[in-house]
Amino acid sequence: MKRIRFILSALLFLAIATQVNGQKMKKHMENSGYKIGDSATDFRLKNVDGNMVSLVDYTDAKGFIVIFTCNHCPYAKAYQDRIIALNDKYAGLGYPVIAINPNDPKVEPTDSYEGMQQRAKEKGFTFPYLFDDGQKVFPQYGATKTPHVFVLQKKNGKNIVRYIGAIDDNYANANDVSHKYVEAAVDALLANQPIAQTTTVAIGCSIKAQKN
Amino acid sequence: MRNLVILIMSIMTLSGFGQNVVKKKNEQVATPKQKQVMKIVNFDQLQTVLKKNDNKLYVLNFWATWCKPCVDELPGFMEVNKSFRSNPHFKMILVSMDIALEFDSGVKSFIAKNKIEPDVYLLDDNKRMNEWIPAVDKQWSGAIPATVFYRNGKKLEFKEGKMEKRELVQIINKYL
């Protein structure tokens, strides 16, 4: 009888322990990365021209369109021209594009620093294209895929996250877009209006890390 | 005497016939494959499959031919499918995120070349991604691969990212 009681209590303990553990894991997953209203970290990353770039360098900016993107992903490629157009439209209005390649080139050789330099040259990127060497930045933002956009607004020396998600609602065809999510978000910020849609989701290529 | 010959002949015919039946049955057991479904669908059409009240465990894997981690995990998924496919309560479906224009050229040839046996649906519903991604799972960021488990229209589990064979088997065994 004692033995049975011991086994039962051991089982109960195990059941509780696994449940608590599961809840912890779930909580951890839900909490990873920024939410709307969080203050985003600055960084110091190497641009394709060899210079180091930080958000703090942009003294005149009102905010940023930070885009995690890369060379190899078909979705990222489909958006290259639209990213250039975003920078052309909004850099002058105080919201420049800052593109960051978060992928580990050991896992995806196309996304090497040299590959980035080549792509930036071919496409004539008008914005910095930074390499998240060591993959320290994308996990803090909570980026999971390319392309993945974070619109930041400068406020009291902080960069506040105002929008997270997709560029628009049709990666495959730029001529058949009904909702330009990023443009709508930045336009709202410029007009001091609330952003109608602060988060969106779209299919993208998972960010390539070695443990993945 | 004549009667005996007729009897023997009938026995031979009968047993021969019987053997044929047995043989046929064996062949059917050895290849329980149903015809593979390959088609382009929108999310509503995909949902009619998921909402079936047929007591089957549906394992849906969202992937694309160009997605490296997706392609890396496929052999494991195919092995798992082989070991469970004879179970009438199990069904694996691959949901391709490839562009619809490349269904015939890219996806079908990939399926043939890699001996992919489960049904393959190409989900062509780009403009509603922001609706159907959260409908599949609220936690899904949209990165692929992603795998979701359904039964009788109810979602049981969701996993974003590459899945090891062992983990996949564990989840299937939990619900089968």
Q: How confident is the model at residue A8 (pLDDT cuts 50, 70, 90)?
A: low
CB contact under 8 A, A205 and B126: no
Between strands A145-146 and A129-131, the pairing is: unpaired
CA gyration radius, chain A: 21
Note whether residue B170 is domain-resident: yes
Note whether residue B83 is domain-resident: yes
| Interatomic CA distance for residues A93 and B154, integer angstroms | 48
Q: Which residues of chain A are within 8 Å of residue B66 when distances are taken between CB atoms?
A: 74
Whether omega before A109 lies within 30 degrees of 0, making that bond cis, reads no
Q: What is the mean pLDDT of chain B?
A: 86
CB contact under 8 A, B129 and A201: yes
| Facing residue for A145 by CB, picked from B62, B128, B141 | B141
| Interatomic CA distance for residues A148 and A207, integer angstroms | 10
Q: Which residues 6+ apart lie within 8 Å of B74 measured at CB?
A: B63, B114, B116
CATH of A36-206, one of 3.20.20.70, 3.40.50.300, 3.30.360.10, 3.40.30.10: 3.40.30.10
pLDDT tens for each residue of A170-208: 999 999 999 999 999 999 999 999 999 999 999 999 999
Closest-CA residue of chain B to A30: B139
Q: Given this model, what pLDDT does residue B25 score?
A: 42
Which range is least confidently modeled, A15-19, A39-43, A169-173, A184-188?
Answer: A15-19
Burial label, A85 (beta-carbon count in 10 A; 0-12, 13-18, 19+): middle
Tell me how many degrees the CA angle B28-B112-B90 measures, rounded to the nearest 5.
50
What's the helix, strand, coil split of chain A in %, to 5? Answer: 40, 20, 40
Q: What is the mean pLDDT of chain A?
A: 90
Which range is least confidently modeled, A81-90, B20-29, B59-68, B139-148?
Answer: B20-29
| Interatomic CA distance for residues B145 and B68, integer angstroms | 9
Note whether residue B91 is domain-resident: yes
Print the SS3 string covering A20-76.
HHHHHHHHHHHHCCCCCCCEECCCCEEECCCCEECHHHCCCCCEEEEEECCCCCHHH
Average pLDDT over residues A27-48: 85
ipTM (interface predicted TM): 0.79
User: Could you tell me how many residues make up chain A?
Assistant: 212
What is the distance in angstroms between the Cα of A138 and the nearest Cα belonging to chain B?
Answer: 14
pLDDT tens for each residue of B124-139: 999 999 999 999 999 9
CB-CB neighbours of B172 under 10 Å: 20
| Residue A162: alpha-carbon gap to chain centroid | 13
CB contact under 8 A, A169 and B127: yes
B15 pLDDT higher than 70:
no
Q: How confident is the model at residue B19 (pLDDT cuts 50, 70, 90)?
A: very low
B85 pLDDT higher than 60:
yes
B31 pLDDT higher than 90:
no
% of chain A exceeding 70 in pLDDT: 84
| Chain B residues within 8 angstroms (CB to CB) of chain A | 62, 64, 66-69, 97, 99, 126-130, 133-134, 139-145, 160-162
B22 pLDDT higher than 70:
no
| Number of domains making up chain B | 1
pLDDT tens for each residue of A111-159: 999 999 999 999 999 999 999 999 999 999 999 999 999 999 999 999 9
Best mutation target, A77, A200, A203, to test chain B (most B CBs within 10 A): A203
Phi and psi angles of residue A158, each rounded to the nearest 5 degrees, phi first: -110, 160
Q: Given this model, what pLDDT does residue A164 score?
A: 98
Q: Which residue has the tokens 């969080």?
A: A38
| Interatomic CA distance for residues A113 and A117, integer angstroms | 6
Helix (H) or strand (E) holding A185: helix A181-190
A36 pLDDT higher than 70:
yes
CB contact under 8 A, A172 and B126: yes
Note whether residue B22 is domain-resident: no
CB contact under 8 A, A207 and B143: yes
Average pLDDT over residues B92-104: 95
Q: Given this model, what pLDDT does residue A206 score?
A: 95
Q: How confident is the model at residue B86 (pLDDT cuts 50, 70, 90)?
A: very high
Domain of B106: which CATH number? 3.40.30.10
B57 pLDDT higher than 90:
yes
Residue B137's domain comprises 38-175
Q: Given this model, what pLDDT does residue A145 score?
A: 96
Closest-CA residue of chain B to A31: B139
CB contact under 8 A, A30 and B129: no
CB contact under 8 A, A170 and B126: yes
